[in-house]
Amino acid sequence: MKTHLTTLHNGGRTCAMIKPVAGRKPVLALLMRLLCAAALVLPALGAQAAVVFTNLYSFGSVQDTNGNALDGANPSAALVQGRDGIFYGTTPTGGTYTNQYGGCGTVFKMSTNGALTTLYSFKGTNDGANPQAALVQGSDGSFYGTTLYGGIINYPNGYGTVFKMSTNGALTTLYAFGMVTNASGDPVDGANPQAALVQGSDGNFYGTTLGGGTNGAGTVFKTSPTRALTTLYSFTGGIDGASPAAALVQGSDGYFYGTTTGGGGTNGDGTVFKISTNGVLTTLYAFGSITNASGDPLDGANPQAALVQGSDGYFYGTTSAVGTNGGGTVFKMSTNGVLTSLYSFVYYWNNGFWPYAGLVQGTDGNLYGTTFGFEPGVGVFGPTSPGTVFQITTNGALTTLHCFTTGGNDGMLPRAGLVQSRDGSFYGTTTSGGTNNAGTVFRLTVVPQPQLTLIPSGPYMILTWPTNYTGFTLQSTTNLGSSAVWTTNSSPPIVIGGDNVAINVASGKQQFYRLSQ
């Protein structure tokens, strides 16, 4: 028997075409054997996956009599899932110790169903203030992080700190920047770390500071869990870059890779660099190397996010501005600095723009990220631009998964990247919006379309699809023209071995099948 099978896409439905050739075999007797052999049959794959978005928590749900958010506010960092399955994160404002600036920030933990517990409220003194970065869980089980301000000078001043914290909220300040200064009092050990730490294969933690250093243009440092800090590199603001705002990532070759928001080329559009564990830095790429007639960097500008090394060995990242269409870019780069722009966001358009956050590679091989801006007016310049969540393939095909709504409970303006949980869903934060307009934690679940498998058997067609995909109905038609009429399968499926099974008699005519939801 021969079967013509063609994968078709029709409005997010799974669709396949068959053309049977006559022949007879008892269907029921062959059914189990054919199902076991189904792996040999070409599956018809669905079109775009469905997306389920859930707002798990709105910050500002716990307030004092003055309306201050005691549970924290305006999260700008990604979450991290601990070994206990709980998510841990930071908020740069809010907390118990409030002041005219909105509070000194918090550390919190949250279950996958949205139950949030505030673990620590920063005081703005020696413990630091305003954590802008995500946490990282060390090999010892403790969480490590940084604060933007505080330390040796009280909030709102100070140069920031490095801290560690137990899962029950006991915080220890490991280092306060500004401990080493020059004759003018400038912090040569770095100032104002905005990025998360990363634990290297040697057990030390590596990070960056936005400012300070020998030249005032930021640093790369390493620190041990026992408080010793070493400045590995001080940026000059020249070709090596300036003001690294993102975390480092250790590549499979042992080097650490990172970005700077400024420096590099003539216009200071930022760089990608790699650095060894002993501080030897190599500038791999300077943005602004490709420009148009007006001098605008077509390759993007001002990367603010960390890189991620994909399963193919390439590094993937974002630039927060410019590019071919003016709204920032997604790029990939080889370890020797060959950069390819994968996607250019259109400034003030409805596919999102300004990707401030980094990417994460999902278990499906695709990359996922967020944009800070989104114009629901389909390209009409306007005041509302609350951001998106997107998926992009490694060859640059982008799909918008969720558009945040202005004033909506789903949140607004995500500055942080996503994290994929062990349950397969993606979790993230927004800086504002939600019930109290103080930001949110959300979950986004990508539900792929089911595979519709066709098994020919004489005058019958056996169609199967997994039972864990609910709400789908098998339909058929004899043509795909504008006058096509889809008919729901008259016989309901039976369940065999975790699959829905439908047995249809071939009509002798060309037939198209789809799963409709």
Tokens (6 digits) for 121: 């409220």
Say if residue 468's pLDDT is above 80. no
Three-state DSSP state, 6: strand
For the chain, state the CA radius of gyration: 27
Asked whether residue 34 is assigned to any structural domain, the reply reads: yes
**pLDDT-based confidence at residue 472 (cuts at 50, 70, 90):** confident
CA dist., res. 316 & res. 394, Å (int): 9
Q: Diameter of the chain by CA atoms?
A: 94
pLDDT digits (tens, 9 = 90+) for 82-104: 999 999 999 999 999 976 667 99
DSSP 467: T
Of the listed ranges 232-236, 237-241, 250-254, 454-458, the least confidently predicted one is: 454-458
Write the CA distances from 218 to 40, 192, 204, 208, 215, integer angstroms: 57, 9, 20, 7, 8
Write the CA distances from 374 to 54, 205, 512, integer angstroms: 19, 36, 38
Q: What is the pLDDT of residue 514?
A: 83
Q: What is the pLDDT of residue 43?
A: 42
Say if residue 44's pLDDT is above 50. no
Contact residues for 339 (Cβ-Cβ < 8 A; gap 6+) = 272, 285, 299, 331, 332, 333
Torsion sign across C-alpha atoms 165, 168, 169, 170:
negative
CA dist., res. 501 & res. 35, Å (int): 9
What is the three-state SS of 117-138?
EEEEECCCCCCCECCCCCCEEC
Tokens (6 digits) for 171: 């915080």
Kindly report the number of other CB atoms within 10 A of residue 142's CB atom: 17
Asked whether residue 245 is assigned to any structural domain, the reply reads: no
Kindly report the number of other CB atoms within 10 A of residue 230's CB atom: 13
Say if residue 227's pLDDT is above 90. no
Asked whether residue 482 is assigned to any structural domain, the reply reads: yes
Q: What is the pLDDT of residue 492?
A: 84
Q: What is the pLDDT of residue 384?
A: 58
Q: What is the pLDDT of residue 207?
A: 98
Phi, psi torsion values for 40, nearest 5 degrees: -85, -5
In the chain, the number of structural domains is 1
Q: What is the pLDDT of residue 155?
A: 72
Asked whether residue 33 is assigned to any structural domain, the reply reads: yes
Q: 232, 221 in Cβ contact below 8 A?
A: yes
Q: What is the pLDDT of residue 429?
A: 98
Q: What is the mean pLDDT of residues 399-406?
A: 90
Tokens (6 digits) for 386: 């609350």
Q: What is the mean pLDDT of residues 311-331?
A: 97
Q: 159, 213 in Cβ contact below 8 A?
A: no
Full-model pTM: 0.82
Q: Across the chain, how many H-helices and E-strands are there? A: 1, 38
Asked whether residue 504 is assigned to any structural domain, the reply reads: yes
Say if residue 57's pLDDT is above 50. yes
Which of 40, 34, 20, 24 lies closest to 513 in space, CA to CA? Answer: 20
Could you identify the residue written with the tokens 């792929």? 448
- Domain, as residue range, for 506: 6-48+450-516
Of the listed ranges 18-22, 290-294, 495-499, 513-517, the least confidently predicted one is: 18-22
Tokens (6 digits) for 154: 């009280």
Write the CA distances from 471 to 206, 476, 515, integer angstroms: 48, 17, 9
Most confident listed range (110-119, 368-377, 461-470): 110-119
CA dist., res. 199 & res. 222, Å (int): 9
Could you identify the residue written with the tokens 């029709």? 10
Tokens (6 digits) for 456: 């020919």
pLDDT digits (tens, 9 = 90+) for 254-303: 999 999 999 998 899 999 999 999 999 999 999 999 999 999 999 999 99
**pLDDT-based confidence at residue 38 (cuts at 50, 70, 90):** very low
Torsion sign across C-alpha atoms 27, 33, 36, 37:
negative
Asked whether residue 397 is assigned to any structural domain, the reply reads: no
Asked whether residue 28 is assigned to any structural domain, the reply reads: yes
Say if residue 306's pLDDT is above 80. yes
CA dist., res. 445 & res. 461, Å (int): 33
What is the three-state SS of 20-85?
CCCCCCCHHHHHHHHHHCHHHCCEECCCCCEEEEEEEEECCCCECCCCCECCCECCCCCCEECCCC
Q: What percent of the chain has pLDDT over 90?
A: 67
How confident is the prediction for the chain on average, in pLDDT?
87
Write the CA distances from 193 to 78, 152, 206, 264, 270, integer angstroms: 16, 14, 11, 20, 17
Q: What is the mean pLDDT of residues 70-77?
A: 97
Q: What is the pLDDT of residue 42?
A: 41
Q: What is the pLDDT of residue 49?
A: 61
CA dist., res. 432 & res. 411, Å (int): 6
Asked whether residue 11 is assigned to any structural domain, the reply reads: yes
CA dist., res. 240 & res. 227, Å (int): 28
Say if residue 37's pLDDT is above 70. no
CA dist., res. 384 & res. 373, Å (int): 8
pLDDT digits (tens, 9 = 90+) for 412-465: 999 999 999 999 999 999 999 999 999 999 999 998 777 788 887 777 888 888
In the sheet where 171-176 sits, what is the strand order?
A: 136-137, 143-147, 161-165, 171-176
DSSP 477: E
